[in-house]
Amino acid sequence: MAKTTLDVKGMHCGHCKASVTNALKGLDGVSDVSVDLEKGKASVEYDDARVQFSKMKETVEEQGYDVVGQN
């Protein structure tokens, strides 16, 4: 399993946190997601053979948020 942290802009509330968490968890290959609203970060544990950063970014942006980086 691989781990990454997405820098997400536009999250402000519990609904935002739930939207990002549920969207990422819905991806095939993602096993765990933890969102920190204060820091604007989404930590993702995933199988890099099944899902790539580009798909995670696209999925979060489809929810209305901007992914501005990855750590």
- What confidence score (pLDDT) does residue 54 get? 95
What mean pLDDT, rounded, does the chain reach? Answer: 96
Q: How many CA atoms lie within 13 A of 54 on its CB side?
A: 2
Range of the domain at 59: 2-65
Alpha-carbon gap, residue 64 to 71, rounded angstroms? 21
Determine the straight-line distance between the first and last CA of the chain, rounded to whole angstroms. 16
Q: What is the pTM of this model?
A: 0.93
Q: Note whether residue 71 is domain-resident.
A: no
Quick check: is 70 in a domain? no
Report if residue 15 sits inside a domain: yes
Residue 14 counted as domain residue: yes
pLDDT of residue 71: 87
Q: Which pLDDT band, with edges at 50, 70 and 90, does 60 fall under?
A: very high
Q: Looking at the domain assignment, is residue 12 inside a domain?
A: yes
Q: Please count the structural domains in the chain.
A: 1
Instruction: Identify whether 26 is part of a domain.
Output: yes
Write the CATH number for 27: 3.30.70.100
Q: Which tens digits make up the pLDDT trace of 32-53? A: 999 999 999 999 999 999 999 9
